[in-house]
Each structure stands twice: as structure tokens, then as C-alpha cells.
Amino acid sequence: MAKSHSRKGKPGKPTDASDDADRTVILPGADADPTLAPTSAESAATTPAGDSASAVPATAETGAGTPPARVERKELVGSLRSKEQQRARDKARGKPKAAVAAESAAGGVLEWFKSVGAAILLFFVIRTFLITAYSIPSESMEKTLLVGDYLMANNALFGATLPFTDIKLPALRDPHRGEIVVFRPTYNEPQIDVVKRVIGVPGDTLQMANGVLFRNGKRANEPYAHYDQGFDENIELEGFGLVDPNIIPERYGAKNHLPLLLPSVDKQRYRPSRNNWGPLVVPAEHYWLMGDNRDQSLDSRYMGPIPREVIRGKPLFIYYSYDKKDLGAAFPSFITAARWGRIGDRIR
């Protein structure tokens, strides 16, 4: 007699029918939910014979065909209903496409505003703490700086000013003699940024005789000084005469010299001119500023010493320059009239 073998049964012991049922694998049809298909012997035993096409039984040991187990129709219908209900719940939890699109558009606008805000903040940080652009509108600094020169200036060196305020941050140092500085004088209305050179610092004694500058009793070396007129000009005591219409008359005139003159000077007979004035002492927290073009500059000779608090920056280099007087330049004039050789020049 042949012996039958099985993983559950012992050698020589026939395999029980219930063992075969336990090892039956139920494969559901294409439209059934595999997670709900019966796999136990109990569900296989209760499957109607008419639904044998919905399941493909096979023995785990030999793969020989056995009567197929039927998947109960109510379980199949329940599986389909369960899927429909799940889709309905997912749809209920989700949002309409229009709402999703609106949210996406709102998110894009928010990101755009964030980017623009960051750019504006970066601009103010750079403009406040690092560098600022200035232009030269007059001839007061020729030949060092020309009308139409555009400068980059260091704001942090002399103490940056917070935007839209008069609050100054701590400075790295004070201006030195001979440096070119940008300042915003109080004698202009409206106030504008002006570029001049530092001639005297607090405590210096200054005097000019026949166009020659003396500092603390010694002749100053001024290779940058430029004179383009052959005559002198009186500085009126009060703000009279041909002056810039933007100048406040009350702040203009030789009266600004009087509190600074040495005791040896007779104030009653003091009559200064553009090339002859002093001797006077620069007061504390003030600087004596003058243009390099000595015959074309409204500066401390007319306005008196400049307060330290209005000095804003130190020009570094020329980043662009073009000749505004070249009216015959071909279009576009900002290219054809550009002074390419000056671009990038350091300012000394």
C-alpha cells in the first residue's frame, strides 16, 4: 500500500480533508477586493458551487485542482460598497478643485510679496550700512570731480543714518584732513547731499592769504586746489549778493566767521573775501569744508563750519560718468557722451 505524505500529517497517515481545506488559497476575481476574499476553510466550505469561476482553488502541496470555493456574493457587494463609501469620504474630506487652485494662487502671491519685501529690506540695509550712490551736480569740485560723475560712498565709516530719521549709528572714525566727504548741509532748502573736501578739523587754526591756505601757522599742501578766475570776491557780512536761490540767507555770510576769529582780529574791521579770510579756529564737533574749485564753490568760507552730525559718507570710486554739457551727443547720450575713462576711478 502506498503511503501518503503531508506537511501536517505523519508518514503513512492519510491527510485529513480539513487539512486540505486549511491549505486552500482563494484567489478573488478582478473586481473583488483581495483584502476581503475568504481564505479560511470555513469561508471556502460555504462558497456556492455556481460561483466557482470567481475563485481558483489550488492545494498548497501539489497544486492539483480541488473543487473551487465560492466567494459569497454579499461579501463581494459589501467590498464594492465599502470602496464607494471610502471614495465618498475621501471626496468629502478633500476640497474642490477651484478652492485648491485659489489656495495655490494665494500662496504664489504671498511668496511674491515675501520676495519683494526681502529685496526692499536688503536694499535699505545696503543703503543704510554699506554704500550709497551720489551724483555731482555742480562745478565746485573740478578738476577732481566733474559734473555728471556718479559716486559710490561708504556710509558706515562716519556713522550711517537710519532711513527716514535723523538718528545716526556709531561711526568707525571721524573725517581726516584732505578727505572728500558727502554731507547734507543745513543751509540748503530743500536739503541736498553735497560733496566737499575736509580742510580743517576741530581745533585747527585756518587762514587764507591771496589764495594760499595756512593751517596751524604752516602753508598747506593742496595739489587738488583749482582756480579758474583771475579776481577775488568779497564775502558779505549778511546773506546778500548773488547766491544760490536754494541757500537760506540767514545762514549765509561772513557773520559765521565772527565767533571763530582769534582775539587778535578786530571784528569791527573784519572784511573777508573768497581768497583772504581768518585766522579763525574750527570749533569742536565741526569741520571746515571747501570745494577744490575755489572760485566756484559755496562752502565754509560762506556758510561757516559744518556740524559733524551732517557728514554722511566717504566717496570711494566713480561708477559712471557722462558729460552733461555735450548737448550734441548722439542718441542715446548716456552712452555716446559717457566718460568711459573715468569709470572705476578711485576718489582721492
277, 235 contact by CB (below 8 A) = yes
Phi then psi for residue 92, to 5 deg, are -65, -40
Measure the CA–CA gap between 260 and 81, rounded to whole angstroms: 101
194, 188 contact by CB (below 8 A) = yes
Q: Nine-digit cell at 122? A: 536688503
Other residues' Cβ atoms within 10 Å of the Cβ of residue 73: 13
Q: Nine-digit cell at 96? A: 474642490
Q: Nine-digit cell at 61? A: 502541496
Measure the CA–CA gap between 338 and 348, rounded to whole angstroms: 21
Q: Report how far apart the first and last C-alpha atoms of the chain are (Å, whole number).
A: 118
286, 204 contact by CB (below 8 A) = no
Give the three-state DSSP class for 314.
Answer: strand
Backbone φ/ψ region at 176: left (φ over 0), alpha (ψ -120 to 50), beta = beta
Identity at 269, one-letter amino acid code = R
Non-local CB neighbours of 256 within 8 Å, separated by 6+ positions: 302, 303, 304, 305
Nearest to 48 by CA among 80, 76, 22, 23: 76
Measure the CA–CA gap between 93 and 180, rounded to whole angstroms: 69
Which residues are known catalytic residues? 140, 196
Backbone φ/ψ region at 139: left (φ over 0), alpha (ψ -120 to 50), beta = alpha
